[in-house]
Structure formats: C-alpha cells, structure tokens
Amino acid sequence: MSPAWLAGALDLGGDLLVVPLMLPVVGLLLGLGLGGRHLGRVALPLMVLGLAAALAVAAAVFKAGAPLHYALGGWAPPLGVSLKADGLSVVLLLTSALVVLAVGIYAQRPFGVAPGAVETRSSLAFWMLLLGVWSGLNTVALGQDLFTLFVALELLTFSAVPLVALDGRAETLAAALRYLLFALLGSVLYLLGAVLFYGTYGTLDIALLAAAIGGADAVPAPVLAAASLMTVGLLAKTALFPLHLWLPPAHAGAPPAASAVLSALVVKGSFFLILRIWFDLMPMLLTGMAAQILGALGVAAILYGGLLALRQARLKLLVAYSTLAQLGYLFLIFPLAATSDPAGSTDVVTGGMLHLVSHALAKAGMFLAAGLIAASLGQDQISALGGIARALPITVLAFGLGGLALMGLEPSGAYLAKSLLDGPAAASGQWWWGLAMQAGGLLTAAYLIRVFYHALAGFSHPPSLKSRPARYQELVALALALGALLLGLLPAELLGLVAIGRSGVELGGLP
C-alpha cells in the first residue's frame, strides 16, 4: 500500500530524523552560492522533499507506535546529545513542512526574480530567512536537550525578526526592534533557567532530568526558579497576553508571506517548548498553581485579543489581534490536563495540538488572502472592502473559509479540538474554561462577520483593482483554509499519533 520510497525510508529508523534537520540547511548553503535569483526556485523542491521527509517520520512513528531516537555521533545522552520524534514532534514537523511549502509557492511572485529583472536584496533575504525559520522549527521539534533547544529557539528568533522588517520602512523597523527586545529577554531568561537545571542535576537531557526530578521526594528550589524563568521567557516569545505588545505591529507590518509564517509557525515554536517543559520535563509540577495561572492568562488573551480585533480598522491588524486570542486557547490545556485523569489528559493534549495545527493552517491562509486583498486594492481598510467579493471571489472565499475554521464550525479542526477540551472541562467541574472557549468563539464570529459584512456589500459596484493576484496564489490560500476546515474529518486512529510517546497512555473516548 505504501509507495516504495516510503517503505525504504521506514527501514532507516532513527537515522530518518537527520533528514528534516539537513534539508533547510542544505538550502541555506546553496543560497549563499546561488543568490536570490535562483534560490526561490531551488527552495521549492527542497520544501517538497521536506514534506515527504516529515510524512516518512510520521509514518515510521505511527507504524512503530513508539518514538524514534537518534544519538548524534553514536553517543548516548549522559555524554552526547539525542534527537527524538514522538507524537508532538511529528505534528510540529508536518505543520511546518506544509505551511512552509505553501508560503514558498505563494512567495514565488512577490519574492521571485523574473528572468532579466534586477535582483533585489529582499528576495535573497526572504528565502534565506524562510529556510532559517524552517530549520529552527525542525530542531525545536526534534531536540531533546535544553541547550540544543536554546540554540534552535535563537535560530528561530534571528530568522523571524528580520522577516518583519523586510520592506525597511521606519514603522516596521521599530516593530522588528521591539520584537527582538522581547525575544532577547525571553532567550536570556530561558538560558538562566537552563543553567539552574545544569547546576542542580549536572545534565541538560530532558529524559534524564525528568527521571531525576520525578525520583526526588521534594522539588528543589532551583528547579522551581528555573521552571518559572523559562516559562516567562518563552511566554514573551509566544506573546501570551501581558507580554503580547510586540505581536500586532510586527505581524501586521510584515509582508503577507512573512506574516503567514510568523503567525502560523514562529509563535508555535516557543509554545511547543513550554509544552515540552511542563509535560515531559516535570509533569508532577503541573498540578499546582502554575497550571491555573497559565490557563487564566490564556482566558485573558482570548477575551482581550477578541475585543481588540473587533475594534481594528485594518484587515491585517484584525488578523494579527485574532492570533493573540487564538494563542490563548492553547494555554487552556495546562489547567485542563492537570486536573484530568491520564486518558482525559491525553485527550486535552491531543485537542491542544489539533488546535495548533488548525490555527496554523487557517491563519496562514487568512494572512495570505488578506495580503492579496491589500495588494489588489492598494490598502486594507475594512470599511473600504465593498465589492471585493465580486472582484476577487477565490481570495475572499479563502479568507471566509479560514474564518469559519477559526470560529470552530463543524467539521473544522478547531471544532474537534474544542470538543476534546470540553469533555475534561465538564468532567472535572471546571465549567469556566468551557465558558471562556464559547465566549472566544462568539468574539471570533463577531469580528469576522464585520469583515464579511463589508466584503460582501457593494456587489453591483466592484472596485477597480490596482493589480490582480496570480491564480496559484489564490489557490494556495484557499488550500490552506480548506485544510483547516476539513481537519476535523481526520480518522480517530490518526489522532492517536499525537499520544505516541506520552507515557504510554492510550487515547481515551472520542466525541
């Protein structure tokens, strides 16, 4: 049933994990020699290969029913550094490969160099930075050592920050600088936490640390300090509610292809590390106050982001504030998983990852569509969108389907995610988390209906367009939005993939 290349790839076992790490770096090295003129075209086959590699890793993990391991240089963890692909890693690998490939196709027009045209500096910069982001994400997904993960996080940040300022206007430079300052504070706090872990246990390997922390009777004070420092640092990079100030100007000012990557993937990289720290490194600490605080911040983000999105006059800013709100949902999994039985907690993590994928696909599609609308009209004021649905039907359809996926209508991934989260919330009597999710869904519907209201009005007077988007760009945005909308149709066995490596707990009852 599986094609020959897949069968061959499955025989590689742990060695397979090297491929997703290598491909972006190969692209970066080629880019130094080829320049921006050819890198855009060379990067595309690499991205297709990357998707194939991510699929092969997923198939291998699924078939084995256990995580894949690889020890760099053959040295096992106390001495060496290891890589591991479990269910969570596979989800992040697949999502990044998909979104990067879609953005790579879309960006052929804005950042490709036509034969005979003069090459611009932003072209080379964009492709190199996109490959850098991809490389950072793959390392975040597979790394099992706190210091490797630090380097991966820095690679991600240093690639993401210049993406914000690609057009070089003063306001985007200021947004990039503000983003960088928040991110640097986050990195240095994370590093401080890593030092404290090393000072206490003499290792940075997640599995060894988890065994040492789990084996002790009382949690030592440095571990508590390290956990709080690392979490706060990563929250600054993820832009959770009180540390969100940098996100809206940065995501709304970047070129659309960059915004899509930033909103869909980059903030998820640091969220993924928070997940690793709390669920893999010290699951026993999650029961306390920390989980409740993270959940409360998530609720604050859902409400604050939703309300501010309602008030925005510009389409791209609205989508950026919507990202703030959607990130809040991801943090509800901490209190819900902490108070559930093992099966319920697996459901919660699965729901959270499903929401991550669904938001990544929907938001990438919406940012790409919003970018096409802004480029065609020459501006993106929401009140001036009249008639755009007639002028650019496919683009508006992509934006709308992405919006339906965000609202959590059946059969979207967000719908399935919410029903997976709702069960444990009701079972443990914590109705307020469910209420927050419903309120968030209502706010999402409200700010998107405002966009639809303006976009669908004025049907008899379509606006005159400055330029037409290429058909393939519209179709890429549509495909991403459709992917998010149909994610809820995934068979239950595939959802079990997320739980592989989660302390052997089988996925509990599905809705």
Partner 1 sequence: MSGVTLFGLCGAALVGLGLYGLICHPGVLRKILAFNLIGSGVFLLFGVIAKRGGGALAAAGTGIDSDPIPQALVITGLVVAFAATAIAVALLLRLVEVGGRGTLEDQAPASNPPHQGPKP
Spell out, one character per residue from 192 to 221, where the chain touches partner 1: x when CB under 8 A holds, - when not: x--x--xx--x-------------------
Place of tokens 């065994």: 211
* Identified binder of partner 1 from the candidate list 7, 32, 188, 494, rule CB under 8 A: 188
Tokens for 246, please give them: 């940098």
Residue 478 interacts with partner 1 (CB under 8 A): yes or no: no
Residue 494 interacts with partner 1 (CB under 8 A): yes or no: no
Before 411, cis peptide (omega within 30)?
yes
Residue 184 interacts with partner 1 (CB under 8 A): yes or no: yes
Shortest spacing between CB 225 and partner 1, in angstroms: 11
Residue 154 interacts with partner 1 (CB under 8 A): yes or no: yes
Report the C-alpha gap between 246 and 57 in whole angstroms. 35
* Identified binder of partner 1 from the candidate list 1, 118, 170, 289, rule CB under 8 A: 170
* Identified binder of partner 1 from the candidate list 37, 69, 109, 178, rule CB under 8 A: 178
Shortest spacing between CB 171 and partner 1, in angstroms: 5
Residue 486 interacts with partner 1 (CB under 8 A): yes or no: no
Residue 147 interacts with partner 1 (CB under 8 A): yes or no: yes
Query: What b-and-e string marks burial along 66-95, b requiring 16 or more CB atoms within 10 Å of the CB?
Result: ebbbbbeeeeebeeebbbbbbbbbbbbbbb
> Closest Cα to residue 53, out of 89, 29, 99, 18?
18
Shortest spacing between CB 36 and partner 1, in angstroms: 19
Residue 242 interacts with partner 1 (CB under 8 A): yes or no: no
- Using left for φ > 0, alpha for ψ between -120 and 50, and beta otherwise, residue 151 falls in alpha
Shortest spacing between CB 192 and partner 1, in angstroms: 5
Alpha helix stretches (DSSP H) within 107-169:
108-111, 121-142, 146-164
Residue 489 burial (C-beta neighbours within 10 Å; 0-12, 13-18, 19+): exposed
Q: Which stretch binds partner 1 (CB under 8 A): 16-24, 120-128, 188-196, 489-497?
A: 188-196
**Window 381-420: residues binding partner 1 (CB under 8 A):** 381
**Window 345-374: residues binding partner 1 (CB under 8 A):** 374
Q: Which is nearer to partner 1, 120 or 379 (CB)?
A: 379
Q: Which is nearer to partner 1, 162 or 469 (CB)?
A: 162
Shortest spacing between CB 73 and partner 1, in angstroms: 15
DSSP 502: S
CA dihedral 397, 402, 406, 410 (to 10 degrees): 70
Q: Which is nearer to partner 1, 12 or 232 (CB)?
A: 232
Q: Which is nearer to partner 1, 317 or 360 (CB)?
A: 317
Shortest spacing between CB 147 and partner 1, in angstroms: 6
* Identified binder of partner 1 from the candidate list 41, 63, 169, 461, rule CB under 8 A: 169
Shortest spacing between CB 352 and partner 1, in angstroms: 29
> Closest Cα to residue 282, out of 222, 215, 231, 214?
214
Residue 467 interacts with partner 1 (CB under 8 A): yes or no: no
* CB atoms inside a 10 Å sphere around CB 301: 28
Phi/psi for 467 (5° steps) reads: -155, 160
Q: Which residues pair with 341 in a beta bridge?
A: none
DSSP 334-399: HHHHHTS-HHHHHHHHHHHHHHHHHHHHHHHHHHHHHHHHHHHHS--BGGG-TTHHHHSHHHHHHH
> Closest Cα to residue 243, out of 189, 301, 291?
301
* Identified binder of partner 1 from the candidate list 9, 85, 92, 191, rule CB under 8 A: 191
Residue 180 interacts with partner 1 (CB under 8 A): yes or no: yes
Residue 133 interacts with partner 1 (CB under 8 A): yes or no: no
Q: Which is nearer to partner 1, 30 or 192 (CB)?
A: 192
Using alpha carbons only, give the angle 155, 161, 164 rounded to the nearest 5 degrees: 145
Shortest spacing between CB 369 and partner 1, in angstroms: 18
- The answer to whether the beta carbons of residues 63 and 10 sit under 8 Å apart is yes
**Within the chain, what is the greatest distance between any pair of CA atoms?**
72
**How many residues interact with partner 1 (rule CB under 8 A)?**
33
Q: Which is nearer to partner 1, 347 or 380 (CB)?
A: 380
Report the C-alpha gap between 402 and 369 in whole angstroms. 9
H or E segment at 71? strand 68-71
Q: Which is nearer to partner 1, 222 or 283 (CB)?
A: 222
Residues near partner 1 (CB under 8 A): 147, 150-151, 154, 158, 161-162, 165, 168-171, 173-174, 176-178, 180-181, 184-185, 187-188, 191-192, 195, 198-199, 202, 374, 378-379, 381
